Amino acid sequence: MSPLPEAYEKLRARGKDLALLGATTGLLSWDQETLLPPKGHSFRAEQSSLLAGISHRLATHTDIARWLDECESTSLPPHSPEAAAIARWRHDYHRATRIPAELVEENELAIGLSRTAWVEARKNSHFPTFAPHLEKLLSLSRQMADLWGYADQPYDALLEGYEPGWLTRDVTALFAKLRPRLVAIAEKAFALPQPPSRKTLRGHYPRADQEKFLQLLLPKIGFDINAGRLDSSTHPFCSGLGPGDTRMTTRYDENDFMVSLYGVLHEAGHGLYDQGLPESQLGTPLGQAASLGIHESQSRLWENRIGRSRSFWKSWWPDFTRAFTDLTGHKHEDCWRASNAVERSFIRVEADEVTYDLHILLRFELETQLLKGDLSVHDLPAAWNELFEKLLGLKVPDDARGCLQDIHWSLGGFGYFPTYTLGNLTSSQLWQAANRDIPTLPTSVENRDYQPLLRWLREKVHSHGRRYPAAELVQRATGKPLDPEAHLKVLESKVQELSQ
């Protein structure tokens, strides 16, 4: 292949600077969630706002337009990875230059203040503390959406920031198809003669024992513990800062070891993706994740398809019983059932696989209405509670367990929620394809050999970075476009299995 144009190397160098700045911001956020003293948050908001402004100016400099023009005028093979990188750079540049740096800084500062107010509001279950901040962030998001431009409605422009290629109407259509099927599966699970429950396993599981177990599990599934860390935070997350530094968190409940277990399996799925992105491509889109939905598909696959399988419980059972004395007298089958309990619950992050997407459907419906102006901030709690009862059959007792539970809106993350459901659907479709491609996969998983699965994911997903749009990546990896059937089938057969 002919050498890459000089402008490509310049774009790569600028991209690397942006990646370094992004990692610095990421580290500040990690610190904010894990260590920052409570009084340090507004000072931190100023730091993050400054860095966001600097990044934005670097990402929107006119040099980039010149380098892009130069690259686009050279004859790179149209299907080469570099041609794809240039197309992604163009997309990002176009999007970034729509928004003035002042608006980026204002938004970042508003987010910092809003986050503090949200923590307070949630603690006291007092929506009015958070309402003016939500109002402000919605107005800033609407301004940005107008500047970005959109097909039908402002939400389209925001969705594009998280899941490029999806329009609100596509998500609406997909969710309309999912809703009755999910409700039917959930009803079937609720009606099981002996519905499994995590409560049967409640005991005393000291945090130190849980930590020890998790440090055993992580390298076994392929996570490089010399290139990452596990800490604790209120909301588990994973932050792939860059080569050799993937930070994960989980939370601990000494009565229920599955809280940290599934937190870690989930975040480690994200972490494995981050660790699998090609290091040599740092600074180019080929070294970045394809989309948030694809990211979530990785976490869900490890959490649910591996971690909630019978073979996981069976193969890890000797280690579980060694780690936790309170499991004495239980069987691995009890844990498998408990880990798959389907229950009506208020909190999304604790929801089981079947009801989880109903929580997402609710948020999507409400945030699209908020953005359009069809729902006022003032009316949000009531609208939440009404829809929640319709979808999940529970009366929301307070806003802390209702519309104040998630951090996303306090960070201005409107358009983020659908990526969770897209991730769930994708995870099952990838799992189905991996099983088709690797006939020995069930045996290797039974033997706690996760390498064949990880190798498959590296080859089909991780190694491509952002070369392909998410839809194309799914098509290439699985041989068909994203389709909810694989996931619905997984859920249906799980409920069927539990009934036996």
Give ∠ CA 151-155-159 in degrees, rounded to 5: 95
Q: Is 246 in the site for Zn ion (CB under 5 A)?
A: no
Of all residues in this chain, which one has the CB nearest to Zn ion in the complex? 299
Q: Is 299 in the site for Zn ion (CB under 5 A)?
A: yes
Return the number of the residue (196 or 271) whose C-beta is nearest Zn ion: 271
Contacts of 200 (CB under 8 A, 6+ apart): 334, 338
Closest CA to 109 of 128, 87, 84, 137: 137
267 catalytic per annotation: yes
Selecting among 82, 160, 163, 267, the annotated active-site residue is 267
Three-state SS for 246? strand
Write down the least CB distance from residue 162 to Zn ion, Å: 12
What CA–CA distance (Å, rounded) separates 417 from 170?
A: 14
Return the number of the residue (268 or 375) whose C-beta is nearest Zn ion: 268
What phi, psi does 239 have (nearest 5°)? -130, 110
Site for Zn ion in 384-443 (CB under 5 A): none
250 pairs with which residues across the strands?
A: 232
Number of residues that bind Zn ion (CB under 5 A): 2
Write down the least CB distance from residue 73 to Zn ion, Å: 40
Write down the least CB distance from residue 335 to Zn ion, Å: 23
Write down the least CB distance from residue 181 to Zn ion, Å: 23
Find the radius of gyration of the CA atoms of the chain: 23
Q: Which window, 10-18, 288-296, 402-410, 466-474, contacts Zn ion (CB under 5 A)?
A: 288-296
Write down the least CB distance from residue 233 to Zn ion, Å: 14
Q: Which window, 291-299, 322-330, 341-349, 352-360, contacts Zn ion (CB under 5 A)?
A: 291-299
Contact 30, 242 (CB under 8 A): no
Cα pseudo-dihedral 42, 44, 47, 51, rounded to 10: -120
Q: Which window, 215-223, 299-307, 315-323, 475-483, contacts Zn ion (CB under 5 A)?
A: 299-307
What CA–CA distance (Å, rounded) separates 434 from 275?
A: 20
Return the number of the residue (12 or 270) whose C-beta is nearest Zn ion: 270
What CA–CA distance (Å, rounded) separates 248 from 47?
A: 22
Return the number of the residue (299 or 410) whose C-beta is nearest Zn ion: 299
Q: Is 32 in the site for Zn ion (CB under 5 A)?
A: no
Q: Which window, 17-25, 192-200, 220-228, 298-306, contacts Zn ion (CB under 5 A)?
A: 298-306
Burial of 43 (0-12, 13-18, 19+ CB in 10 A): exposed
Q: Which window, 197-205, 297-305, 338-346, 459-467, contacts Zn ion (CB under 5 A)?
A: 297-305
Task: Take residue 318 and report the two structure tokens written for it.
Answer: 């000797």
Do strands 228-232 and 245-250 pair parallel, antiparallel, or not at all (unpaired)?
Answer: parallel
Contact 409, 119 (CB under 8 A): no
Write down the least CB distance from residue 450 to Zn ion, Å: 19
Return the number of the residue (296 or 399) whose C-beta is nearest Zn ion: 296
Return the number of the residue (292 or 495) whose C-beta is nearest Zn ion: 292
Which residues would be at the binding site for Zn ion (CB under 5 A)? 296, 299
Q: What are the catalytic residues?
A: 267
